[in-house]
Amino acid sequence: MWRRAASLSPLASRSKPSKLCQEACTFKVWESFSSESEIPTPSRVAPYITFVLGGPGSGKGTQCAKMVEAFGFTHVSAGDLLRREIASNSAYGSVILGTIREGRIVPSQVTVQLIQKEMESSDNDKFLIDGFPRSEQNREAFERIIGTEPSVVLFFDCPEQEMVKRVLNRNQGRVDDNIETIKKRLEIFDELNWPVINHYSKTGKLHKINAVGTVDDIFEKFANNISKIGDHISLAKLPHSKTEHLLFFQKQKEQEAETTSPKSEHQIPPQPQPPTLFTKPPAQTKIQALDAVLKDLGTSIDKGVNIDTQTFASLWNMLAARSNGVWLPEGRAGFCMECAYLGYAELGLYEDAMALYFQMEEEGIEPDRFTFPQVLKAFGELGSFRLVGIYAKCGDIVKARKVFYKVANRDKVSWNTMLTSYMRGGLLLQALDIFR
């Protein structure tokens, strides 16, 4: 579930002097804006968020528009949201206008709140957040208020000269597309955006894209980078022409509709299945992409970086590889299973998580320091008698028995479930045996 923090805490106390404090300096002006009434926390699956970073004119907006058309992401441009706020003549419009005209950054809570509203008004769960976060304060505010982190961060790397040329030719009548403001924006970008880029580089989420070249060439790199982490696009299947994009996206939607919507009202919608190991491997390109991601994550974990659960969940989605079942690269089976486990647990799919845990146990994979607390949590959330039931229903009496004997306080329900399982399996002697 993705969640939001209950309140917006002022940024002023964390700020330092100099340009770095410009957000905080204007905080008072925005205070009332950010104290709007809270909207109840939505009950939704964690969204798949991609931050799209890059200097002014690096081509973020152009590429995001293409991703929307081709793969159905929802494009949330922070700059567009702010310009919309100005156009709506809201009480804060004129202050936002002044900030943009000077090439400075609008206080984090204002932008985050606009992003939040935009995300909540969308039915989609795949977002490209363009031109945000522009500072560490932006990033921290997003994490605190929205309560989640991006799965992927893309950085469009473009030389300054090229950016200036593009912005001056943009011709959209923007108040900030003039040489003075561009200089200021580039200065601010250098000072405040690099720490964000470095942060995501350290967490292994950052993918740098060379933003010089034709729009189509860059798009291919952009889409490939997103597909490395997400399960939304298969690298091997990535189409090239515009018509192919549309057909591909249409097909994806149809497939998704088939797997998610019940055929009739009596039919139970399909539940995520625990992974089946070592089924048919996917195409070579996908194997390489998976290997690269796993290597990155493995290295980060080895270095002690705490990989966030959203990434684990994304990895799990990727590993599920839909119709092919799950394919695990050699030597990383344990790691992948743990990721999958954490993905399940984080999504609240405790039954699946526990089923996978027992599979891991059978494979001789011990939970590590990240997984173990989640195993305990899943046990607590699920109640062990339900596990006995799950196994009994699947006809796996050996596992059911194992769980049953692991539970210290066996209650009436667990005794009954175990007994019924034995009876159902025709194991009368074993059924009697549990009373000894």
* Shortest distance (Å) from residue 160 CB to ligand UDP: 13
Q: Which of 175, 215, 246, 428 binds ligand ADP (CB under 6 A)?
A: 215
Nearest of 408, 409, 418, 433 to residue 386 by alpha carbon = 418
CB atoms within 10 A of CB 361: 14
Q: Which of 12, 15, 29, 62 binds ligand ADP (CB under 6 A)?
A: 62
CB 26 within 8 A of CB 107: yes
Binding mask 130-169 for ligand ADP (x = CB under 6 A): ------------------------------------x--x
Q: Closer to ligand UDP by CB, 133 or 367: give it.
A: 133
Q: Rounded distance, CA 376 to CA 293, Å?
A: 28
**Token pair for residue 187?**
């200065």
Q: Rounded distance, CA 302 to CA 55, Å?
A: 32
Q: Which does 99 bind (CB under 5 to 8 A by kind): ligand ADP, ligand UDP, none?
A: ligand UDP
CB 297 within 8 A of CB 307: yes
Q: Which does 228 bind (CB under 5 to 8 A by kind): ligand UDP, ligand ADP, none?
A: none
Note if the bond before 159 is cis, omega within 30 degrees: no
Nearest of 382, 401, 381 to residue 391 by alpha carbon = 401
What is the binding site for ligand UDP (CB under 6 A)? 56-57, 60, 78-79, 82, 99-100, 103-106, 111, 131-132, 134, 138, 176, 185
Residue 58 in contact with ligand ADP, rule: CB under 6 A: yes
Residue 170 in contact with ligand ADP, rule: CB under 6 A: yes
Q: Closer to ligand UDP by CB, 52 or 307: give it.
A: 52
Q: Closer to ligand UDP by CB, 146 or 365: give it.
A: 146
Q: Which does 22 bind (CB under 5 to 8 A by kind): ligand ADP, ligand UDP, none?
A: none
First to last CA, the chain: 44
> Which DSSP category does 427 fall into?
-
* Shortest distance (Å) from residue 127 CB to ligand ADP: 16
* Shortest distance (Å) from residue 23 CB to ligand UDP: 9
HEC string of 188-257 equals HHHHHHHHHHHHHHHCCCEEEEECCCCHHHHHHHHHHHHHHHCCCCCHHHCCCCHHHHHHHHHHHHHHHH
Q: Closer to ligand UDP by CB, 87 or 376: give it.
A: 87
Q: SS3 for 320?
A: helix
Residue 57 in contact with ligand ADP, rule: CB under 6 A: yes
Q: Closer to ligand UDP by CB, 138 or 314: give it.
A: 138
Q: Which does 105 bind (CB under 5 to 8 A by kind): ligand UDP, ligand ADP, none?
A: ligand UDP
How many residues make up the chain in this entry? 436
Q: Which does 215 bind (CB under 5 to 8 A by kind): ligand ADP, ligand UDP, none?
A: ligand ADP
Q: Which does 3 bind (CB under 5 to 8 A by kind): ligand UDP, ligand ADP, none?
A: none
- Cβ partners under 8 Å of residue 412, min gap 6: none
> Which residues are near ligand ADP by CB under 6 A?
54, 56-62, 166, 169-170, 213, 215, 218
